[in-house]
Amino acid sequence: MSAIPKPSLALIIPAALLLLSACGGESDEERRERLHLPPPDYRADARHGAELFAASCAECHGQGARGGKAGPTLIHKYYEPSHHGDYSFHAAVRDGVKQHHWGFGDMPPQPQISPTDAADIIRYVRGLQVRAGIR
């Protein structure tokens, strides 16, 4: 009797997620709103992000995202896109962050920052990182 091959988890998990998505009744727009993400066609504006960062983030993360007394620099390899992708920044705005790389304490959620504003801030920070050689 031959053994029946087991399906690969690499195939099962995406299929299950697709099925749950289709059966869950949640639209892409609802999912993006729940996850605090901008619309898929939103084009982030780094200039606006710089203004928003200065008003909402610099108090903790310092001018130019170089760190401050209450928050770490974001111009560091820990925050490069391959380690902390854009979604991790969106999640930090939405949910806050438990202290993990630095000794500044937890970051509280930032509900006053909309998903599109967060995308603009992320675009600004990513530009700063690129100029500092972080890719």
Q: Are 29 and 42 in contact (CB under 8 A)?
A: no
67 and 125 together in one domain:
yes
Residue 95 lies in a domain: yes
- Domain assignment of residue 3, yes or no: no
Mean pLDDT of 8-19: 55
Say whether pLDDT at 65 is over 70. Answer: yes
Residues 78, 31 share a domain: no
Q: How many CB atoms lie within 10 A of CB 87?
A: 12
pLDDT grade for 4, boundaries at 50, 70 and 90: low
Which structural domain, as residue segments, surrounds residue 16? 8-36
The answer to the question of residue 105 being in a domain is yes
CATH number at residue 66: 1.10.760.10
- Could you give the CA distance from residue 103 to residue 128 in angstroms, rounded to a whole number? 23
Q: How much is the pTM?
A: 0.79
- Among the ranges given (33-42, 50-59, 104-113, 114-123), the one the predictor scored with the smallest mean pLDDT: 33-42
User: Is 2 inside a domain boundary?
Assistant: no
Q: Which of 68, 69, 113 is nearest to 89 (CA)?
A: 113
30 & 78 share domain: no
More confident residue, 10 or 41: 41
For residues 23 and 130, what is the distance between their CA atoms, to the nearest angstrom?
A: 41
**End-to-end CA separation in angstroms for the chain:** 53
**pLDDT tens-digit series, residues 109-121:** 999 999 999 999 9
How many domains does the structure of the chain reveal? 2
Does a structural domain hold residue 92?
A: yes
**Residue 29 and residue 59 in one domain:** no
